Amino acid sequence: MAATYLTSAIRQFEYYKMLGEKAMAQVTDETLFWQYNEESNSIAVIVRHIAGNMLSRFTDFLTTDGEKPWRNRDEEFENGFSDRAELLAYWEKGWSCLLDTLRNLTDEELDTIVYIRNDGHTVTEAINRQLAHYPYHIGQIVMIAKMAAGSNWESLSIARNKSTDYNARKFENEKTKRHFTDDL
């Protein structure tokens, strides 16, 4: 079960990474930095927070607290990027840290205790915590991008009024064990 869990978790993270990237690709550079109001976050701020969290949580994952002394979480909620390229480079840095760490874990390490702000988690619990956290923010990115793109938005999942077509294609296949992202 453990190898299946790690493989599934990695696939889930990769799926949400792809959703964020496809959403950001559909908006202008200006939209990446747009905020609805002073209390809301731009896509750029959300990216800075997600990647900052990944770097803190997954650097030396098994041996140090996930809240690193060098992390300045409050600063993550200010725009720190000058352009799309810089934003995407930081996004990639965070995801690489996360995915490289997960790919190097072993089944035996899943019950190891790791700490986040001195709260102990099994490795599995720590991964699950982030599997809830990052998609929450990816959804925010998608929503901002979708509103900004308007009628030019290209669906990232099953398009409106296409569920019947999608289901027909899925049910043409034989039942088999596969990850839901295999046909993306």
> Distance between CA 27 and CA 1 in Å, rounded?
40
The whole-model pTM stands at 0.93
Tell me: the pLDDT tens digits for 119-175?
999 999 999 999 999 999 999 999 999 999 999 999 998 888 999 998 998 899 889
Q: What does the DSSP assignment read for 56-97?
A: HHHTTTTTS-SS-TT--GGGGGS---SSHHHHHHHHHHHHHH
Among 13-22, 38-47, 52-61, 170-179, the minimum mean pLDDT is found in: 170-179
% helix, strand, coil for the chain, step of 5:
60, 5, 35
> Distance between CA 166 and CA 181 in Å, rounded?
14
User: Please, are residues 27 and 149 in contact by the beta-carbon 8 Å criterion?
Assistant: yes
